[in-house]
A = this chain, B = another copy of it.
Amino acid sequence: MKLSQFYTKTRRSMAAQDSINAYLLEKAGFISQVAAGVYAYLPMAVRSMQKIEQIVREEMNELGGSEVVFSALQPKKTWEQSGRWEDKNFRQIVYLDTDVDMTFGATHEEPMTIAVKQGVQSYRDLPVILYQFQTKFRKELRAKSGLLRGREFRMKDLYSFHSDEKSHQQFYEEAAEAYLTTFERLGLEAYRVKASGGIFGAEHSDEFQVLCETGEDEILVDHQTKTGFNTEIENQLKVVDVKKLDRVKAIEVGNIFHLGTKYAEAFDLKYLDASGTRQSVWMGSYGIGISRLLGTLAELFNDENGLKLPRQVAPFAVVIIDLTNGKTGRKVHDLLEKAGIEVLLDDRDEPPGTKLVDADLIGYPIRLVHSAKTAQDGKIELKERASGKMTLVNLEDVVKHVSRLLSLKAKV
């Protein structure tokens, strides 16, 4: 890809933002603020988000999920039927509670239960595992921290339907494992943290938290086992030795909930078991914040020069800057692209300084600079963004060298 054919603009100067991720992502041209807690995703961010979604999609498929896309609009009456419409906590966060018979739901237990009811008659129709990527809306009073807490955000939510508590519990643990794998593939080390059921009507839940000094959650963790507790349930912690736990700040990137038979009862989602008896379906719900993940990655992977997103989520793997007549840069670009490497050639009519500063700000994992000096020896300068390590590579070896570096770094 040539930068002249790809719309992206970094910003030289920018007012202070409410968070590192908002500041860096906006300065690097990934996002543009539309209103408090509402962002437009520009081409660089779309590429990163698509990569995050694809990793999550692969793991949810591996878990046995089938992808769906439910509507954002939901009939108000279904929320009345589940009893959540009267829930003060929920009423505050949904849109459209006045003159229309619909609501924008921040979660999809109701319509999923209703849709699955159409397809499930007997135990042979279970389990059902559905997931979706969707834009969600919350009347968020505390919109802040850039992509970490917005009024409009991208989510992956998955809903599981099992015939009994035992098979549900087993799947719940498989989902927890899949979550840890997902976050690891994204370059994040997540802790599994016990928490309350919250507004999902769940008895209890598990959160997946990534340690971060600027995170808004406070958790107690055991670094050895990578587990812990959200301090919101501290009064339940009498059984464990709190002194052994470390109190840290963190960002919640995912959560999973036991829903029991609550929604099955509310919507009469029953099945006939092997003996012909009607039984309620056991459900769970499982969320991952996709746009929040991009915010978390930006919050964690950066330095004073800009972003350092992990290779598997960076918009492009390689940037090429040719400080000579451009011929070598174009040649290397074509070779890398032919080898299937996501490369961007900075062919803008801009001064060298601007291109070098932008490369660090956007944080391409590998930067190749061709100059009169490197040309003398038939070489190109290769800089790794994460470590800052510089190497001079023979021009004829550049594809081999870049491929090797990228496959070494690839956790995917």
Using a CB–CB cutoff of 8 Å, the interface residues on chain A facing chain B are 5-9, 11, 29, 32, 34-35, 38-43, 45-47, 49, 64, 66-75, 95-96, 98-102, 111, 114-115, 118-119, 124-125, 128-130, 135, 137, 139, 151-152, 349
A135's contact among B6, B42, B135, by CB below 8 Å, is which?
B135
A7's contact among B38, B70, B111, B128, by CB below 8 Å, is which?
B128
Q: Which 6 A-B pairs have the closest CB atoms?
A: A9-B119, A7-B66, A43-B66, A41-B69, A40-B70, A32-B115
| A7 neighbours in B (Cβ, 8 Å) | 66, 119, 128-130
Instruction: List 23 interface pairs A-B (beta carbons < 8 Å), by A numbering.
Output: A7-B128, A7-B129, A7-B130, A8-B66, A11-B118, A29-B119, A34-B73, A34-B75, A35-B73, A35-B102, A38-B71, A38-B73, A38-B102, A40-B68, A40-B69, A41-B70, A43-B67, A46-B69, A47-B67, A49-B69, A72-B152, A100-B139, A102-B151
Q: How far is the CA of A66 from the CA of B3 in the complex (A)?
A: 11
Q: Are A72 and B40 in contact (CB under 8 A)?
A: no
With contacts A9-B119, A99-B98, A124-B349 taken as known, whether A35 is within 8 angstroms of B75 at the C-beta atoms is yes
Question: How many copies of this chain does one complex carry?
Answer: 2
| A67 neighbours in B (Cβ, 8 Å) | 43, 46-47
With contacts A38-B71, A70-B34, A349-B124 taken as known, whether A64 is within 8 angstroms of B95 at the C-beta atoms is no
Q: Are B43 and A68 in contact (CB under 8 A)?
A: yes
| A130 neighbours in B (Cβ, 8 Å) | 7, 43
With contacts A35-B102, A66-B6, A100-B95 taken as known, whether A42 is within 8 angstroms of B151 at the C-beta atoms is no
Q: How far is the CA of A109 from the CA of B45 in the complex (A)?
A: 20
Q: How far is the CA of A29 from the CA of B120 in the complex (A)?
A: 13
A interface secondary structure, majority = mixed
Q: Are B119 and A71 in contact (CB under 8 A)?
A: no
Q: How far is the CA of A386 from the CA of B193 in the complex (A)?
A: 54
A71's contact among B34, B71, B95, B128, by CB below 8 Å, is which?
B34
| Shortest distance between the CB of A118 and any CB in chain B (Å) | 6
Q: How far is the CA of A39 from the CA of B75 in the complex (A)?
A: 11
| Shortest distance between the CB of A29 and any CB in chain B (Å) | 8
| Shortest distance between the CB of A122 and any CB in chain B (Å) | 11
Interface centre among A75, A111, A119 (most CB of B within 10 A): A119
| A128 neighbours in B (Cβ, 8 Å) | 7
Q: How far is the CA of A137 from the CA of B135 in the complex (A)?
A: 12
A152's contact among B38, B41, B73, by CB below 8 Å, is which?
B73
With contacts A7-B66, A100-B95, A118-B11 taken as known, whether A71 is within 8 angstroms of B39 at the C-beta atoms is yes
| A6 neighbours in B (Cβ, 8 Å) | 66
- 19 extra A-B contacts, CB within 8 A, seeds A5-B64, A73-B151, A73-B152: A7-B66, A7-B128, A34-B73, A34-B111, A34-B114, A35-B101, A35-B102, A38-B102, A40-B69, A41-B68, A41-B70, A42-B68, A43-B67, A43-B68, A46-B67, A72-B152, A73-B137, A98-B99, A100-B139
Q: How far is the CA of A128 from the CA of B29 in the complex (A)?
A: 15
Q: Are B118 and A72 in contact (CB under 8 A)?
A: no
Q: How far is the CA of A151 from the CA of B125 in the complex (A)?
A: 32
Q: How far is the CA of A17 from the CA of B199 in the complex (A)?
A: 36
Q: Are B115 and A71 in contact (CB under 8 A)?
A: no
Q: Are B152 and A71 in contact (CB under 8 A)?
A: yes
Determine the residue in chain B with the shortest Cβ distance to A47: B67
| A11 neighbours in B (Cβ, 8 Å) | 118
